[in-house]
Chains A and B, each alone.
Chain A
Amino acid sequence: MAKVMVVDDAAFMRLRACKVLQDNGHEVVQAENGADAVRQYAEHRPDAVLLDITMPEMDGLAALKEIKKLDPNARVAMVTAMGQQAIVMEALRAGARDFVLKPFQPDRMLGALQKLLA
């Protein structure tokens, strides 16, 4: 089972994702914004990251770039309600491996995680 970091400024969404991940045997690290995600990535070195895009302090795209500087092999999937092509392309260029669109769907999230860890 993997160590997964869930990054979302909405506590409700973090808890929801944590429940699903823990029920499936994963260890979860939570971060509430991009800056927190970068700090926690450096500390915990998770196997995979589920990273929201729209967040205060540092958004998900900026956090993705910082995490990739720390670890070029970081396995990151972006999670967002905003699926516009420009954002998708920028995140993929910055090294994101997958996209999970909100509303939250446990099977879709677990599928993305499985792809990240493959």
Chain B
Amino acid sequence: MRAEVINPFLQAATEVLESELGTTPTRGSIGLQRSAYTSDEVTAVVAVTGDVAGMVMFAMTEEIARAIVSKIMGQDFPTFDALAQSGIAEIGNVITGRAAVLLAEAGFPSDLAPPMLIVGRNTMISTLDVQRLVIPMETELGKVEVQVALKLTAAPARRVA
């Protein structure tokens, strides 16, 4: 995966998590995986179309998901209810949206589908022939793993900033 595609997600995840949680997350070692993704307890999924296409996933435990929405909303979420689910999906949406703006500035215009949420561990999601870039983001509330499975779809001539 090219740096011009990866960097917008690194920047967007850092900016949005920092803005939402009030502290700067620490980025762990980035990995590249070919095998299918096996879901964590909560996974927000955002599909991307355009000059880069595929999907971006944001995986975490339910405890961390509830801690994140509790911190943002300033109220306790004892269960991962519909409102909490909406909050986690929206964070995935905002990070991917911010990354899409940066991708467009880099010459790769793209669009997003509405976010979806997978709740429950051990669902296997195959991105088929698209490799997944795994970016662990350590926040003060725990780890959020950003998984980027995107490929370039545009002819080189179109990729002009």
Contacts and interface: CB of A to CB of B under 8 A. Distances in A.
Contacts, number: 60
Contacts of B84: 12
Contacts of B124: none
B25 interface: no
Interface residues of A, number: 20
**Interface size class, chain B:** 20 to 34
Interface stretch (A36-44, A66-74, A80-88, A89-97): A80-88
A26 interface: no
Contacts of B20: 103-104
Contacts of B111: 82
A82 B101 contact: yes
Interface string B97-111: 110110010000101
Contacts of A105: 19
Interface string A24-60: 0000000000000000000000000000001110000
B90 interface: yes
A11 B82 contact: yes
A65 to B, nearest CB: 19
A73 B23 CA distance: 41
19 contacts: A10-B87, A10-B90, A11-B83, A11-B86, A12-B87, A12-B89, A16-B73, A19-B74, A54-B112, A54-B114, A81-B93, A81-B98, A82-B97, A82-B100, A82-B111, A103-B15, A103-B19, A103-B94, A104-B20
Interface of B: 15-16, 19-20, 69, 72-74, 82-84, 86-87, 89-90, 93-94, 96-98, 100-101, 104, 109, 111-112, 114
